[in-house]
Structure 1
Amino acid sequence: MSSIPDQNIFPHATGKAAETVAKHQEPQELIFHAGWFCPFVQRTWITLEERSIPYQYKEVNPYKKEKHFLDINPKGLVPAIEYQGKALYESLILCEFLEDAYPSYKPNLLPSDPYTRAYVRIWFINKSIVPATMRLIQAQEADKQKAALEELLKGLATFSEKIKGPYFLGDEFSLVDVAVAPWIVRDYIIRENRGFTRDAAGETWKRYAERLETRESVLKTQSDKEHYAEIYGRYLRDEAQSEAAKAIRAGRAIP
């Protein structure tokens, strides 16, 4: 889950994401409070789109968080939802909740088999890829950037060993894929600024990343790249004041 970034960000989704937002303005029993820029938001958004669950999209203003939103999530973090008048938050919890609350909407992204279901949970709560990516983005000194890049490549190699096909489980798209997809579509940031290449992560990871970034639900929840520049520029300069940035800076787990 992510806090709202600093100031001067673009105020709304653009590109394909804007088209998706426009289709989800009618009132629904599920209200999705989101920030178009946020990779944690995109996890839940991909799940909603992947499974064609009806929802109403509401963009959260970064600097004028309404009292109603803060009542939903006092931390002021997105994503958050209201479901039948009740509030929930945390991106991966929301993804699982959608499986339980809308079981008839297909495809299900958690397998029905208990073992495989638990196995998916182990891998979608992956603590190597996301923190390492954030550390790499925020690292300023050359030695710290090198160490963070090595850490990320090691994490991607370990993850890649478990990929069974076009998607993590094979032919079946699952919450493991949902969890990492937003960082794959943003890896151009570390390619352009921190020396990362998908080739260095191995052929399996490269093919997997290319497959994920072209999936329809991923494309439909992406804004135009140029509007991410101000946000990630602050992370690249280690000036961001989001809760995620503060946690990385302090050596804590990302909230």
Structure 2
Amino acid sequence: MGHPDADVHPVATGAAKTVVDRHQEDQDLILYGSWFCPFVQRVWLVLEEKKVPYKWVEVNPYNKPDSLMKINPRGLVPTVEHDGKALYESSVICEFIEDAYPDHQKLLPVDAYDRAYSRLWSDFVSTRIVPAFHRYLQFLPVTDLPGLEEKRQEFLDTLLTFSRAMREPKEGGFFFGGSSPMMVDLIAAPWLQRLWVLDEYKGPFFVPLTTEWKRWNDWANSLSDLKSYYETESDKEPTRKLYKR
């Protein structure tokens, strides 16, 4: 993606703006985020799924608020402030929210092995899927068709590996662990939501509809139907401009 242009759209749009507008009152937890950032969206999805009260503070990367710089001098997002203490790094924040709000919907399994399994594949998303996505998106020149195809296949291979790790679907949903969305689903969701960017800027991109990919496609459809998924998505046009090279 690179750095967003200085004229980045200043606020969320579409469904996401409606959610932002609902979260402007002071709360014990403050989320400093930029509407376009997939790592911010991870945290946002967790907050929405757990129904944790929070205040949203929009951060323009070229005009960061003083309140953010005081608690995180690097000015990176996502940052959360909770009872006057700051945390950053999206995966760390997501786990913190799970621990700090145990009476809200649980996003990590109770069983110790299942919790570790969830963390293992959340890490796979961060260390394998996300880098492969960006290597493909940033590959130039697009006239190098063999090189482009290599990056496309590398990315698809990570998605297939991820889908093969999913548990057998249970009645009511096809999420990674079964019938309900869990942390690992939300950790991966922002990149599922941005697959259209690959199609737009790297030529036709699609996940096959073969039997081998059925579990992935069922998972993607279940995730796409989540209210939190589509309510944290901004309109495509401001997003499109961010990725244009």
SS at match of 2:86: strand
1:211 is matched with 222
In 2, Cα distance between the equivalents of 1:144 and 1:41? 31
SS at match of 1:168: coil
Task: Give the Å deviation of 1:3.
Answer: 9.2
In 2, Cα distance between the equivalents of 1:77 and 1:15? 24
1:221 aligns with 2:232: yes
In 2, Cα distance between the equivalents of 1:227 and 1:82? 28
SS at match of 2:206: coil
SS at match of 1:196: coil
One-letter code of the match for 1:5? P
Task: Give the Å deviation of 1:227.
Answer: 1.2
Alignment of 1:9-48 (within 5 A): 9-48=8-47
Q: Residues 107 and 182 of structure 2 are in contact (CA less than 8 Å); yes or no, is this contact kept in structure 1?
A: yes
One-letter code of the match for 2:152? L
1:179 is matched with 187
Task: Give the Å deviation of 1:62.
Answer: 2.0
One-letter code of the match for 1:48? L
- The gaps in structure 1 that reach 5 residues or longer are 238-255
In 2, Cα distance between the equivalents of 1:191 and 1:207? 20
Can you list the C-alpha shifts for 1:114-158, whole angstroms capped at 9, x where unaligned?
111111000011122111001111001323322211111111111
Alignment of 1:104-253 (within 5 A): 104-106=103-105, 108-126=106-124, 127-141=127-141, 142=144, 143-164=146-167, 165=169, 166-194=174-202, 195-199=204-208, 202-233=213-244, 237=245
In 2, Cα distance between the equivalents of 1:4 and 1:34? 15
One-letter code of the match for 1:204? R
- The gaps in structure 2 that reach 5 residues or longer are none
**TM-score (normalised: structure 2):** 0.90
One-letter code of the match for 1:36? W
In 1, Cα distance between the equivalents of 2:129 and 2:223? 15
In 2, Cα distance between the equivalents of 1:69 and 1:48? 19
User: Aligned residues, how many?
Assistant: 232
SS at match of 2:8: coil
Q: Residues 24 and 55 of structure 2 are in contact (CA less than 8 Å); yes or no, is this contact kept in structure 1?
A: yes
SS at match of 1:31: strand
Q: Residues 167 and 173 of structure 1 are in contact (CA less than 8 Å); yes or no, is this contact kept in structure 2?
A: yes
Can you list the C-alpha shifts for 1:89-119, whole angstroms capped at 9, x where unaligned?
111111100011000012x101111111111
2:83 is matched with 84
One-letter code of the match for 1:35? S
Moved over 3 A (4+): none
Q: Residues 156 and 207 of structure 2 are in contact (CA less than 8 Å); yes or no, is this contact kept in structure 1?
A: no
One-letter code of the match for 2:129? I
Task: Give the Å deviation of 1:183.
Answer: 0.5
Can you list the C-alpha shifts for 1:23-69, whole angstroms capped at 9, x where unaligned?
11110010110100111000000000001000001001221113331
In 2, Cα distance between the equivalents of 1:3 and 1:19? 27
In 2, Cα distance between the equivalents of 1:87 and 1:70? 11
After superposition, the Cα gap between the structure-2 partners of 1:20 and 1:4, relative to the gap in structure 1 and judged at 3 Å, is farther
In 2, Cα distance between the equivalents of 1:121 and 1:105? 19
Task: Name the Cα RMSD after superposition.
Answer: 1.7
Single out whichever of 185-194 and 200-209 deviates more from structure 2.
200-209
